[in-house]
Amino acid sequence: MQELLLIAVGSAFVNNVVLSQFLGICPFLGVSKNVKTAAGMGGAVVFVITIASFVTGLIYKFILGNPNIMGGELQYLNTIVFILVIAALVQFVEMFLKKAMPALYNALGVYLPLITTNCAVLGVALTNVQEGYDILTGVVNGFATAAGFLVSIVLMAGIREKTEHNDVPESFRGTPIVLVTAGLMAIAFFGFSGLI
Amino acid sequence: MSKCLERIYNGLVKENPTFVLMLGMCPTLAVTTSAVNGIGMGLSTTAVLIMSNMLISMLRKIIPDSVRMPAFIVVVASFVTIVDFLLEGFVPSLYDSLGLYIPLIVVNCIILGRAESYASKNPVLPSIFDGIGMGLGFTVGLTCIGIVRELIGAGQIFGMQVMPEFYEPLTIFILAPGAFFVLACLVALQNKVKNNYAKKEREVPQTAGCGEGCAACASRGICGGHMISDISVSFEVDQPEDTASNNGGTENKKEQEGV
């Protein structure tokens, strides 16, 4: 239990997926204009990454890493299988939500197709395999990583809402000032490295 | 032949993926802690880009339009796997320092973007040269950022000491925040150039990338052409996107062009 907690805190804050591993930079910069949409994107990412780490964990345990199938030599297919599974999964999740939970679908709907190209999803799936996590640990790691993404994108959106009308030097308007903000946030997140 | 050279010029200068299109930001920020890592990542990406452009261009008349994205992803992922194993076997030190970011070349928007916007529409030879040009442009971009960060953060270039003895390295530049600061300065510099162009009423070079909107973004086909920064708008209007997004990229693209 304690080990799981350590992994969760480690991937949510200490090795924050955006601010120290640079995964999912595109949505972090693109969808952080206001808190509401940022929270929507973050929620969708939490949802998809958690499911994706469960499904890829299952596939790895019972097919790719299974010593009874081809002597466990299928691991070279990890990248190809995972990216296809994630792409298909996103489509399925979208269809399922639309039928079964229209309310949730309306909240997350537009963000779901964008998540396939979020490298954090594939990154978490591959990390789980590389670190040799079992399925439960993998799911916890995935959920915590995504929670870290949610925290940082919502914080970023909050800061951007506050600083929107500030007098920024002309060349730094737009993307550059967002990047500087992200850099300062990354420094702040260094403070968590004493936690573990 | 001139068309091939034009593709290389286009990739290196006119549509440089790092500085002009601002694509593939994740590896750009993550692996540029030193110039060597930058070159390694750039060349790995170039290799994948050339091979995938070649194969996709060869198969462009065979792959049905409706399943082209999954097909492209499989092609790209196969080459990434090959490069992954080659690096692990022959350059283990580089493999260790690039780590997770090699398999993540699969989701690099440059590669799928070029496949979608160039290789799937053009003959084999120009596609190969397009891959070479774009790949070299990306390599140059990563190496430049790597050199800046290594110089300020460690006082070295390619591992050789260049700064004088009394220089105290600013370690933060090879840590995570430094990546954001260096990129911010580069984009600001580019904005300054663009502003100057605009003042002199010359043609302003187009930039794209997810931070800047999808108008000229090469990977529009993948993200369905939703302009990410405009999502808040479409979110409230509740457009008929809901039905379109299930039918794959083609529908969306038509819709987008119609708008």
Minimal Cβ distance to A176: which of B26, B188, B241? B188
Of residues B45 and B107, which shows the higher confidence score? B45
pLDDT at B239 over 60: no
For chain B, say whether A183 makes contact (Cβ under 8 Å): yes
Beta-carbon separation of A119 and B104 below 8 A: yes
pLDDT on residue A145: 94
pLDDT, mean of residues B107-127: 88
pLDDT on residue A147: 94
Joined tokens for residue B130: 């397009």
Task: Look at residue B53 and give its three-state secondary structure.
Answer: helix
**A81 phi and psi, to 5 degrees?**
-65, -45
In chain B, the percentage of residues whose pLDDT exceeds 90 is 29
pLDDT at B136 over 90: yes
pLDDT at B157 over 90: no
Could you read off the pLDDT of B183-233 as tens digits, one per residue?
Answer: 899 888 888 888 888 887 666 555 544 444 443 344 444 444 444 333 333
Beta-carbon separation of A174 and B191 below 8 A: yes
Joined tokens for residue A115: 């998540």
Instruction: Mean pLDDT check: name the lowest of A3-7, A182-186, B117-121, B191-195.
Output: B191-195
pLDDT, mean of residues A105-132: 81
* Single pTM value for the model: 0.81
Beta-carbon separation of A84 and B78 below 8 A: no
Q: Which residues of chain A make contact with B214, given a CB cutoff of 8 A?
A: none
Residues A196/A6, Cβ–Cβ less than 8 Å: yes
pLDDT, mean of residues B165-177: 85
Indicate which of B219, B228, B235, B236 best probes the interface with A, i.e. most A CBs within 10 Å of its own CB: B228
CA dist., res. B170 & res. B181, Å (int): 13
pLDDT, mean of residues A158-164: 90
Joined tokens for residue A176: 């550059």
For chain B, say whether A98 makes contact (Cβ under 8 Å): yes
pLDDT at A189 over 80: yes
pLDDT, mean of residues B25-49: 90
Residues B193/B42, Cβ–Cβ less than 8 Å: no
Q: What is the 3-state secondary structure (H, E, C) of chain A?
A: CHHHHHHHHHHHHHCCCCCCCCCCHHHHHHCCCCHHHHHHHHHHHHHHHHHHHHHHHHHHHHHHCCCCCHHHHHHHHHHHHHHHHHHHHHHHHHHHHHHHCHHHHHHHHHHHHHHCCCHHHHHHHHHHHHCCCCHHHHHHHHHHHHHHHHHHHHHHHHHHHHHCCCCCCHHHCCHHHHHHHHHHHHHHHHHHHHCC
- Measure Cα distances from A35 to A12, A38, A40, A154, A157 in Å: 19, 5, 9, 6, 5
Minimal Cβ distance to B232: which of A34, A126, A170? A34
CA dist., res. A13 & res. A20, Å (int): 9
For chain B, say whether A110 makes contact (Cβ under 8 Å): yes
Q: What's the complex ipTM? A: 0.85
pLDDT on residue B258: 39
Beta-carbon separation of B195 and A171 below 8 A: yes
A29-38, A47-56, A81-90 — which one is most confidently predicted on average?
Answer: A47-56
pLDDT band of B138, cuts 50, 70, 90: very high
A residues 37..76 contacting B (CB < 8 A): 37, 40, 76
Beta-carbon separation of B219 and A117 below 8 A: yes
pLDDT at B33 over 70: yes
pLDDT at B153 over 80: yes
Of residues A94 and A138, which shows the higher confidence score? A138
Beta-carbon separation of B81 and A110 below 8 A: no
Minimal Cβ distance to A22: which of B30, B109, B195? B30
pLDDT, mean of residues B253-259: 39
CA dist., res. A124 & res. A143, Å (int): 10
Indicate which of A28, A33, A80, A193 best probes the interface with B, i.e. most B CBs within 10 Å of its own CB: A80
Contacts of B74 (CB under 8 A, 6+ apart): A80, A84
Tell me which amino acid residue B197 is.
Answer: Y
Beta-carbon separation of A176 and B176 below 8 A: no
Query: In whole numbers, what is the pLDDT of chain B averaged over residues?
Result: 78
Q: Which residues of chain A make contact with B223, given a CB cutoff of 8 A?
A: 113-114, 117
A residues 151..170 contacting B (CB < 8 A): 169-170
Instruction: Mean pLDDT check: name the lowest of A9-13, A160-164, B16-20, B124-128.
Output: B16-20
pLDDT on residue A20: 87
pLDDT on residue B210: 45
For chain B, say whether A103 makes contact (Cβ under 8 Å): no
Of residues B250 and A189, which shows the higher confidence score? A189
Residues B11/B137, Cβ–Cβ less than 8 Å: yes
pLDDT band of B254, cuts 50, 70, 90: very low
pLDDT, mean of residues B108-115: 86
Q: Which residues of chain B make contact with A122, given a CB cutoff of 8 A?
A: 103-104, 106-107
- Ordered by start, the domain boundaries in chain B are 2-182, 194-259
pLDDT on residue B226: 41
Minimal Cβ distance to B70: which of A87, A175, A186? A87
Beta-carbon separation of B109 and A26 below 8 A: yes
Nearest one of B109, B81, B100, B139 to A21, comparing CA atoms: B100
CA dist., res. A28 & res. A25, Å (int): 5
Could you read off the pLDDT of A55-90 as tens digits, one per residue?
Answer: 999 999 888 888 877 777 788 888 899 988 888 888
Indicate which of A77, A156, A175 best probes the interface with B, i.e. most B CBs within 10 Å of its own CB: A175
